């Protein structure tokens, strides 16, 4: 009787391992085959759905846990978010402000050599937001440039439209703003 229970338990464990493997494989395949546009839309749709109160998405660290962002982007958002001592958001670097100013429009500017750029309209009060992606185990957001020149800090420097900085493969002249 004990050996039959062991066999049943082993079978259940094997079935669970197979199910987990298939599920994670399907999720990875889905992310790898997602277009750059779909990655931007899915990330921002989720961010906006959670961010019903300013700062809610930041508090849940969606930028760090998303399959649609690079590790570098997650870290830069953490360094750039401005909060009051009480924890109230003053600047959300994903939204380029404190809250959304309309229904975002997604306009792809280019996609080549594993890099892509989108311009999001109706997001920030000051104008369009530039979103840069890299193809790294699927399309992932690597940088957000805000219209007022504020952006998530990358290391010790801040990427700024006003300073003429732009991701590799682009020039400040190609940035529409």
- Residues 80, 165, single domain; the answer is yes
Kindly report whether the global pTM for this prediction surpasses the value 0.75. no
Is residue 26 predicted with pLDDT exceeding 50? no
Average pLDDT over residues 100-125: 91
The pLDDT assigned to 11 comes to 66
8 Å CB contact between 123 and 104:
yes
The pLDDT assigned to 119 comes to 95
Q: Which residues have a Cβ under 8 Å from the Cβ of 78 and sit 6 or more positions away?
A: 63, 64
For residue 43, what is the domain's CATH number? Answer: 3.10.450
- Residues 85, 161, single domain; the answer is yes
Min mean pLDDT across 28-32, 114-118, 167-171 is at 167-171
* Integer Cα distance of 157 and 167 in angstroms: 13
8 Å CB contact between 104 and 95:
no
Q: Which pLDDT band, with edges at 50, 70 and 90, does 36 fall under?
A: very high
Range of the domain at 56: 35-174
Q: Which residues have a Cβ under 8 Å from the Cβ of 144 and sit 6 or more positions away?
A: 73, 93, 94, 96, 129, 130, 131, 132, 151, 152
- Residues 46, 87, single domain; the answer is yes
- Residues 55, 17, single domain; the answer is no
The pLDDT assigned to 124 comes to 86
Domain count, the chain: 2
- Residues 70, 86, single domain; the answer is yes
The pLDDT assigned to 174 comes to 27
């Amino acid at each position: 009787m004990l050996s039959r229970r062991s066999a049943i338990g082993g079978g259940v464990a094997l079935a669970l391992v197979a199910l987990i493997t298939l599920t994670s494989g399907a999720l990875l395949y889905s992310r790898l085959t997602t277009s750059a546009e779909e990655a931007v839309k899915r990330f921002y749709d989720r961010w906006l759905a959670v961010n019903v109160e300013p700062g809610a998405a930041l508090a849940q660290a969606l930028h760090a846990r998303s399959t649609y962002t690079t590790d570098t982007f997650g870290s830069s958002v953490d360094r750039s978010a401005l909060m009051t001592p009480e924890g109230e958001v003053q600047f959300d670097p994903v939204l380029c402000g404190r809250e959304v100013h309309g229904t975002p429009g997604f306009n792809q500017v280019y996609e080549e050599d594993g890099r892509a750029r989108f311009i999001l309209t109706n997001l920030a009060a000051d104008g369009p937001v530039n979103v840069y992606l890299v193809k790294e185990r699927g399309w992932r957001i690597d940088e957000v440039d805000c219209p007022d020149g504020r952006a998530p800090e990358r290391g010790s420097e801040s990427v700024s439209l006003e300073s003429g900085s732009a991701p590799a493969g682009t020039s400040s002249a190609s940035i529409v703003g």
